[in-house]
């Protein structure tokens, strides 16, 4: 199973020195991938609870967020082998024609190392700020992905849909990776999981309890077969946002997934692999860049 890590693009550490050092250290340690998140606002009085915390409170680090595409472009300039992913770009925040060119540029500049994770966004405040009706997210996502693939495909490019229209045009700039950079979807409900099985290269979940993963992977594979696709070609990339290594073992009944001693984390990694997960992304914490790098080293050692 491959191991990926998050780059410090959120919170007080977010900046060029931290991104450069974390990306270079991850590459030197043998990580397969590095990923960045996508946050737009930290509402003072949020209308939507944060799904990843028990009380729905927004994390403090949401108050400072760097643009994910620019951050990955900077990381690409300071690395040579590390694959570079978005976990995830929120589709409602973007126009697919403009984003398609930005991502193609990143793939060209990185020598074909881009991986594109896409999601639907959950914050009512962010959706309102970008002018997208939550009720049309599903149909908009279908067209969004189709437009991206069209932008990256043969010229001339053209698209006519409900949400997007592209006049027959020559785009010229295409990604290095053919037919396009890998596309992954963060999907949790049945229609979204069907979309992932039908039009993406894999599933990119976060926060799914370990007992639920084998069932959902089985559903993903069954839906892929229904769509005439080979399930074995779909990647399953699990984002472990709360991963943490501790010196001593934690109570099994209370600890979170990929949290605890080296032995406990290794056991979790083995169970994730058995459940069909092909890659795990760990997000190293730390109040300083040095602490962040130390976290990367500990997880690399724990993974073996």
What tens digit of pLDDT does each residue of 186-215 get?
999 999 999 999 999 999 999 899 999 999
Cα separation of 139 and 50, whole Å?
Answer: 24
At residue 227 the predicted structure's pLDDT band, cuts being 50, 70 and 90, is very high
pLDDT in tens, 145-188: 999 999 999 999 999 999 999 999 999 999 999 999 999 999 99
Cα separation of 147 and 49, whole Å?
Answer: 31
Q: Dihedral of CA 6/8/12/14: which sign?
A: negative
Cα separation of 101 and 82, whole Å?
Answer: 22
- Mean pLDDT (whole number) for 278-298: 94
Q: Which CA distances in Å does 85 have to 6, 141, 266?
A: 9, 19, 24
For the 2-303 domain, the top CATH level (class) is alpha beta
pLDDT, averaged across the chain:
96
Tell me the percentage of the chain whose pLDDT exceeds 70: 100
Pairing of strands 259-260, 279-282: unpaired
Res 52 pLDDT > 90: no
pLDDT in tens, 260-276: 999 999 999 999 999 99
* Model confidence, pTM: 0.96
């Amino acid at each position: 199973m491959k191991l990926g890590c998050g780059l410090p693009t959120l919170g007080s550490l977010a900046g060029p020195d931290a991104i450069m050092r974390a990306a270079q250290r991850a590459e030197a340690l043998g990580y397969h991938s590095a990923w960045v998140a996508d946050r737009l606002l930290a509402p003072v009085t949020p209308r939507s609870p944060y799904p990843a915390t028990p009380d729905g409170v927004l994390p403090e680090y949401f108050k400072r967020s760097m643009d994910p595409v620019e951050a990955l472009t900077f990381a690409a300039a300071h690395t040579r082998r590390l694959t570079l992913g978005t976990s995830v770009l929120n589709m409602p925040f973007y126009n697919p024609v403009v984003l398609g060119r930005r991502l193609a540029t990143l793939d060209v500049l990185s020598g074909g190392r881009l991986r594109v994770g896409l999601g639907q966004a959950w914050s009512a405040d962010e959706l309102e700020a970008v002018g997208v009706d939550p009720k049309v997210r599903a149909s908009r996502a279908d067209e969004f992905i189709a437009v991206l693939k069209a932008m990256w495909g043969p010229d001339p490019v053209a698209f006519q849909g409900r949400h997007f229209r592209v006049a027959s045009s020559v785009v010229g700039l295409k990604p290095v990776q053919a037919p396009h950079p890998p596309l992954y979807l963060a999907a949790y409900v049945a229609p979204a999981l069907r979309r992932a099985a039908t039009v993406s290269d894999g599933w990119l979940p976060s926060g799914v309890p370990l007992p639920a993963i084998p069932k959902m992977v089985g559903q993903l594979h069954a839906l892929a077969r229904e769509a005439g696709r080979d399930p074995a070609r779909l990647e399953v990339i699990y984002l472990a946002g709360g991963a943490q290594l501790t010196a001593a073992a934690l109570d099994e009944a209370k600890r979170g997934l990929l949290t605890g001693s080296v032995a406990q984390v290794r056991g979790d990694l083995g169970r994730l692999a058995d459940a069909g997960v092909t890659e795990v992304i760990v997000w190293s914490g730390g109040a300083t860049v040095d602490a962040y790098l130390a976290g990367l080293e500990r997880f690399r050692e724990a993974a073996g």
